[in-house]
């Protein structure tokens, strides 16, 4: 799997500050393991052997794109423990964790899946166990990577080109045209919410403070699980990489902070940048850790966390931003995105930074064939398809600003990044802005409005489904 983040300007030299002795495992995992509620203790094989896929001691080399000696297994419904034990014994497998999220249960799945450690090489173990009749599916624990590259002054001085339009001042016809609805007073509503599934974000950054929160917990009682979702004091969201409620870990969380700023940085505070949607509530669902990687298991949990917040708390969550990718096809990830679709949540995904034709070689999660996915390519300030951007006439929906994008960074600073990671949040912000102007709009309605309003763009003709770039001026 390729790294989808391509820095334009290196904003920080990453210095690892770890919370626990997990330092050596960050390369191995990226996803969401913690929303599990039950453990099987009926036998030594099915006993919970650990709390994180990060605790793997490698017995073979880490393979490209997935964690070594680790696979994810989902048994068919109703399989008894004796049969499960026999299946696991065939790969000398031991359960590390059972993952059963509230969103799975809400969708009628009371089984969940297992993170299993094996001394066998991963693909050998997957091929061996998936042939058994009791297995619904087995797959590697894929590793995903983020997809970016390195009177608000940055808007006024001409740096924030991704927000401009042909009628703004400063002007750039290849920007998102966000400045035009702003001029009409269309700047969003705090009742409209999005999930940012990524690294953490600096929630107390001057341009983000107040716009990142889980409202029930933010206004709740410290030490109490106010919304009953199984996570105490998830005030700003939850960290599924370190398995705690501290969603911002400086200085590593630069990518998530940058993405969040593009979606919803505050306006008219006399400093820094502005986001597409000034008035918005963002919830952090962190599954990517130091080094910019996270695991499939944690990704599933992070997605389900946002889905459950909508069903549990009645939040008006209209979209999630997903500026990450990698790995092969995963039924587990497909199912998690499908559960979000069932709850009317758009899944805005970065198309990838490998100059790849996604029609020929799919890039996940952007290439899953699900109705709630919007796959986004990156364009430059001159309207060209960015040199690094993936594309696909049938699999990538539209282009959006993704090169030399300035946004918020840790340490209350600002900096530039490039990548489809930077393009996707322009579209996520657009979804929130549209939803604020059309209360009750469904995910399908919002997606159709975004794709219908594009500006035809020569560089995107034959390269994207719409052949055009994001245009908020019609909102």
Catalytic residue numbers, as ranges: 198, 255, 421
Cα 173 from Cα 163, distance rounded (Å):
10
Cα 84 from Cα 69, distance rounded (Å):
19
Q: Give the DSSP per-residue string, 357-398.
A: BTTTS--TTTT---TTEEEEEEE-TTSPBPTT--B-TTT--E
Nearest C-alpha neighbor of 294 from the set 33, 49, 10: 33
Which residues does 331 contact at the CB level (< 8 Å), separation at least 6?
74, 137, 139
Instruction: Provide the token pair at 200.
Output: 């953490």
Cβ contact 16:284 at 8 Å: no
Cα 215 from Cα 350, distance rounded (Å):
27
Unique residue bearing structure tokens 């979000």: 340
Find the helix or strand (DSSP H, E) in which 279 lies.
Answer: strand 279-286
**Helix, coil or strand: residue 203:** coil
Cβ contact 412:473 at 8 Å: no
User: Counting every residue, how long is the chain?
Assistant: 475
User: Environment class of residue 360 by beta-carbon count within 10 Å: exposed (0-12), middle (13-18) or buried (19+)?
Assistant: exposed
Beta strands in 15-112 (DSSP E): 66-75, 94-99
Residue 453 Cα to chain centre, angstroms: 25
Instruction: Provide the token pair at 118.
Output: 């094996």
The residues pairing with 417 across neighbouring beta strands, listed in sequence order, are 405
Find the helix or strand (DSSP H, E) in which 137 lies.
Answer: strand 135-146
The angle formed by the CA atoms of residues 357, 4 and 363, to the nearest 5 degrees, is 40
Cα 201 from Cα 212, distance rounded (Å):
8
For 407, half-sphere exposure in the C-beta direction (CA atoms, 13 angstrom radius) is 37
| N-terminal to C-terminal alpha carbon distance within the chain | 37
């Amino acid at each position: 799997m390729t790294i989808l983040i391509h820095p334009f300007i290196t904003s920080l030299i990453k210095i690892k500050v770890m919370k626990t002795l997990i330092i050596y495992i960050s390369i191995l995992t990226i996803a969401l393991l913690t929303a599990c509620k039950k453990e099987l203790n009926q036998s030594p094989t099915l006993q919970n052997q650990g709390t994180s896929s990060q605790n793997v001691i490698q017995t073979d080399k880490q393979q490209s794109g997935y964690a070594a000696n680790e696979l994810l297994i989902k048994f068919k419904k109703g399989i008894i423990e004796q049969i499960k034990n026999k299946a696991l014994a065939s790969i000398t497998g031991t359960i590390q964790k059972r993952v059963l999220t509230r969103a799975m249960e809400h969708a009628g799945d009371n089984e969940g899946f297992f993170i299993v450690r094996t001394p066998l090489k991963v693909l050998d173990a997957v091929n061996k166990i998936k042939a058994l009749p009791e297995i619904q599916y087995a797959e590697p624990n894929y590793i995903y990577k983020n997809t970016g590259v390195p009177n608000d002054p940055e808007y006024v001085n001409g740096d924030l080109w991704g927000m401009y339009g042909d009628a703004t001042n400063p002007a750039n016809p290849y920007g998102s045209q966000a400045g035009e609805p702003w001029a009409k007073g269309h700047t969003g509503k705090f009742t409209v919410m999005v999930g940012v599934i990524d690294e953490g974000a600096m929630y107390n950054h001057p341009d983000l403070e107040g716009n990142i929160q889980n409202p029930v917990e933010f206004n709740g009682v410290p030490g109490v699980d106010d919304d009953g979702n199984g996570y105490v004091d998830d005030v700003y969201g939850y960290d599924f990489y370190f398995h705690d409620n501290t969603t911002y870990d400086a200085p590593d969380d630069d990518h998530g902070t940058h993405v969040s700023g593009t979606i919803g940085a505050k306006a008219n505070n006399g400093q820094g940048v502005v986001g597409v949607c000034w008035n918005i509530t963002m919830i952090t669902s962190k599954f990517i850790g130091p080094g910019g990687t996270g695991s499939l298991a944690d990704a599933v949990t992070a997605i389900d966390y946002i889905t459950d917040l909508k069903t549990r708390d009645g939040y008006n969550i209209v979209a999630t931003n997903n500026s990450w990718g990698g790995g092969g096809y995963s039924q587990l990830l497909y199912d998690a995105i499908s559960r979000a679709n069932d709850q009317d949540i758009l899944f805005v995904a970065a198309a990838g930074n490998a100059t790849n034709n996604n029609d020929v070689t799919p890039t996940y999660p952007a290439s899953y064939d699900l109705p709630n996915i919007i796959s986004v390519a990156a364009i430059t300030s001159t309207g060209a398809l960015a040199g690094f951007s993936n594309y696909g006439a049938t699999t990538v929906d539209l282009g959006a600003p993704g090169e030399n994008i300035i946004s918020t960074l840790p340490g209350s600073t600002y900096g530039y990044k490039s990548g489809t990671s930077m393009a996707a949040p322009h579209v996520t912000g657009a979804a929130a802005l549209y939803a604020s102007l059309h209360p009750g709009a469904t995910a399908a309605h919002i997606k159709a409005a975004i794709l219908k309003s594009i500006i035809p763009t020569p560089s995107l003709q034959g390269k994207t489904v719409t052949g055009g770039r994001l245009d908020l001026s019609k909102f």
